[in-house]
């Protein structure tokens, strides 16, 4: 058993999820976002979840308590994120459609040479949308199992449950690169179990095993060769370009009272080169506080009297919220992308 401290640290740092995917929503439809489908889906209640009373062959050698833990946490999920919410990253979206969505929809066509990757790694600076994409890949799932790491047995149980629930997406973050001294042994064993299970998906699976492991990391250089090899698709998720930043601001201002023209938003985009998606989010939040700061009595003012967010709120916010990713880090990601990324 793991010593208490190690275990605790691991639990707080590592989360994984199994998503059962009755159907995938395509990130792109004829080159455009598929807004209608997503909206209809959002309004539909998720189908009820039922489990076979009989124990599945694949779960036979797994600790029933762990299966129960994982299954108890599988719950109805109303997807609260869609591809539309992810600005920019057209290349990543297109690649995911080809490499992930289509094969999972039509396993009969994607066999042999066309067989899809079992592992997809999303790497890049923090706050660029990797987790959003992970969630989106599973956005039409009716089931989500939040799983908190608890040793390699739990990893085994996780994959067993994923097999029973396939097509499924197992989403892991942080696990791949945990490397502090004390944790090393524990995380090494868990990592090894992940690799074993991962290879199990590949060989034992044949045609019908449809499990996709999606990994997300800010530190790809710390993934060892063995793990790296398993992720056949390795997608760089870079900082947003001007257009991406524009879309993020527009999207965030959508439901706010504001007076910004498109020209002004373009100006802000010019001033935010190097900002990540989450930096942009922080900037907009800061700007949105501008109108609040000039209120003399917050207790009595009516909502209608709160003035619109304007350009100078953003200019002020720019002095408070700076780009969080350094040029040096960016160079590292770009180099790793050239060395190991799936460039096409």
State the residues that interact with ligand ADP by CB under 6 A: 86-89, 126-132, 216, 240, 244, 248, 277-278, 281
| Min CB(251)–ligand ADP separation in Å | 7
N- to C-terminal Cα separation, the chain = 44
How much helix, strand and coil, in percent to the nearest 5, is found in the chain?
50, 10, 40
| Min CB(327)–ligand ADP separation in Å | 18
Q: Is 80 exposed, middle or buried (0-12, 13-18, 19+ CB in 10 A)?
A: exposed
| Min CB(147)–ligand ADP separation in Å | 18
Nearer to ligand ADP, 21 or 249 (CB): 249
Are 116 and 99 in contact by the 8 Å Cβ rule? The answer is yes
Nearer to ligand ADP, 160 or 172 (CB): 172
| Min CB(125)–ligand ADP separation in Å | 7
Name the closest residue to ligand ADP (Cβ). 277
Beta strands 119-123; 15-20: pairing state: unpaired
Nearer to ligand ADP, 116 or 244 (CB): 244
Q: Where are the alpha helices (DSSP H) in the chain?
A: 4-13, 35-43, 64-73, 90-96, 102-105, 130-137, 152-164, 184-205, 225-230, 242-253, 262-270, 277-288, 290-293, 311-320, 327-340
Nearer to ligand ADP, 220 or 277 (CB): 277
| Min CB(51)–ligand ADP separation in Å | 31
Nearer to ligand ADP, 2 or 248 (CB): 248
Nearer to ligand ADP, 86 or 321 (CB): 86
Beta strands 211-217; 143-148: pairing state: unpaired
Q: How far, rounded to the nearest angstrom, does the alpha carbon of residue 18 sit from its chain's CA centroid?
A: 12
| Min CB(231)–ligand ADP separation in Å | 16
């Amino acid at each position: 058993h793991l010593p208490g401290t190690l275990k605790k640290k691991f639990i707080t740092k590592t989360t994984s999820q199994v998503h059962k995917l009755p159907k995938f929503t395509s990130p792109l439809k004829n080159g455009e976002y598929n807004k209608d489908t997503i909206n209809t889906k959002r309004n539909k209640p998720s189908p009820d979840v039922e489990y076979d009373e009989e124990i599945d062959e694949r779960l036979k050698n797994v600790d029933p308590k762990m299966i129960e833990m994982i299954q108890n946490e599988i719950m109805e999920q109303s997807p609260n994120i869609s591809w539309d919410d992810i600005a920019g990253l057209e290349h990543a979206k297109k690649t995911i459609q080809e490499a992930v969505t289509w094969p999972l929809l039509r396993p009969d066509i994607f066999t042999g040479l066309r067989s899809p990757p079992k592992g997809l790694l999303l790497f890049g600076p923090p706050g660029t949308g990797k987790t959003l994409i992970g969630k989106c890949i599973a956005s039409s799932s009716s089931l989500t199992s939040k799983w908190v790491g608890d040793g390699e047995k739990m990893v085994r149980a996780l994959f067993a449950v994923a097999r029973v629930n396939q097509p499924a997406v197992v989403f892991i973050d942080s696990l791949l690169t945990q490397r502090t001294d004390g944790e090393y042994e524990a995380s090494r064993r868990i990592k090894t179990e992940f690799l074993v299970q991962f290879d199990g998906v590949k060989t034992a699976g044949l045609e019908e095993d449809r499990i996709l492991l999606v990994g997300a990391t800010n530190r790809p250089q710390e993934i060892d060769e063995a793990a790296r090899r398993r992720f056949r698709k390795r997608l760089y998720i870079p900082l947003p370009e001007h257009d991406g930043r524009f879309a993020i601001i527009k999207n965030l201002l959508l439901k706010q009272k504001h007076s910004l023209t498109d020209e002004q938003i373009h100006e802000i985009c010019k001033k935010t080169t190097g900002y990540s998606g989450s930096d942009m989010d922080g900037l907009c939040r800061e700007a949105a506080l501008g109108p609040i700061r000039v209120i003399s009595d917050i207790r009595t003012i009516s909502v209608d009297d709160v003035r619109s967010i304007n350009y100078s709120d953003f200019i002020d916010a720019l002095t408070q919220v700076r780009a969080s990713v350094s040029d040096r880090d960016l160079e590292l990601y770009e180099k790793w992308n050239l060395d190991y990324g799936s460039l096409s």
